[in-house]
Every structure is written in C-alpha cells, then in structure tokens.
Structure 1
C-alpha cells in the first residue's frame, strides 16, 4: 500500500489549479473575441436592423409619424399651392403642424387598440 505524502497532494492541487487557469483563460479569450466582433460597426448596424424588424412598437411609431407628416404636408400644399403671401404661408405652417399632430394621435389610438379575434 502506497502512502500519499503532503507534497504529492500539493503537487496534484497545483496541477489542477493550473488546468483550471488554462481553461478559464481560453474562455476569456473566446469571450473577448466575441465581444470584439460584436462591436464592429457592421455588426452593430446588422443588430439594429434586426431589432427594428422584430419590434412592432417601432414599426407602429414610424407608421404613425409618417402618416402624420404626409397628411400635414398635403394639407399645407392644398392651402398654399404654388405661390402665396407670407400670411398664407405662416397659416399653412400652423395648420400643417396641427394636422400632423391630429393624424399622429389618431393613428396612435388605432394602433394601440387590441385586436379582437
């Protein structure tokens, strides 16, 4: 029967700790490379686009804003036409702002209503 000395126990523990250190270092290098890759501008843009595609709230907000701006712009063009005086242009700008906000608020109410099955 072989007896294990304290030095042998210490040597074994040191060997195990060195193995653990090597494994942790490999994991750290891998995580560093993944982080470095994710911080590249191309990958940031790709992730942003992917998040945009998957986010219904962003799509709704974009739709509401686009409808509001388009409605306000068309209203202004109908009022002002090709040429107009300063008062008419100023009035058209105020009306465009009001119509844009009105349409955007109505679109928010429509898109926020729950869909009935």
Structure 2
C-alpha cells in the first residue's frame, strides 16, 4: 500500500512541476515579447525623447548640440558624398567637427 501512495505522490509532484514549467514558459514568452517591442528603434527613440523631455537637463543645450551635430553631418555629406577616398573622408570628418563646433559657439553667444 505504501508504494501506491509514493507513486501517487510522485505523479502529483510531476503534475505540479509541469504546471510550473508551463506557467514559467508563458511568463518567459511575455517577457520576450516586451523585450522585442522595447528594442524596436522607433520605441528606443520615443523613450529617449520622453526621458530628455522629462529630465531636469537644460533642453536648450541639448537642442543646440543636436543642431550643431546635424549641421556638421550635412556639411560633411555635401562635401564628401559617397566617396571612397580616405583623404576626403578624413577631411570630411574634420569639416564636420569644425562646423559642429562653430554652430555650438554661435548658440553659446546668444
């Protein structure tokens, strides 16, 4: 009679472990879906913008830095284009840095 109880107990424990495994698998799938959604570039950008908007950092400083970066990037693309010439690439990087710095200095004077 003791073997029957042990067998039933073992069956019950196996059933509980399977239910626990199934529950944890569902939780893991949900966490994976949340990760996939949060890892999308559009969601990362939205989250970054909302963090900047809600932060105590001076928003004007961030906008000025971003404007300087974009100005330098555009000037580099206009000058270098899709060139494979390494000298032009280096010169384009120097131009990008110079234009970015110039734009940032212009905003600092205001």
* TM-score computed with the length of structure 2 as normaliser: 0.53
What is the correspondence of 1:1-117 to structure 2 with a 5 Å cutoff? 5-59=5-59, 61-62=61-62, 100=105, 104=108
TM-superposed deviation, 1:8: 0.3
Kept in 2: contact 1:52–1:59 (CA 8 A):
yes
Q: Structure 1 regions of 5+ residues with no counterpart?
A: 70-96, 105-117
Give structure 2 stretches of 5+ with no counterpart.
Answer: 69-101
Change (3 A) 1:23 1:58: farther
Larger Rg: 1
Q: CA deviation at 1:62?
A: 3.0
**Structure 1 residue ranges (4+ consecutive) displaced by more than 4 angstroms after TM superposition:** none
State the TM-score, normalizing by the size of structure 1: 0.50
How many residues were matched structurally?
72
Aligned Cα RMSD in Å?
3.1
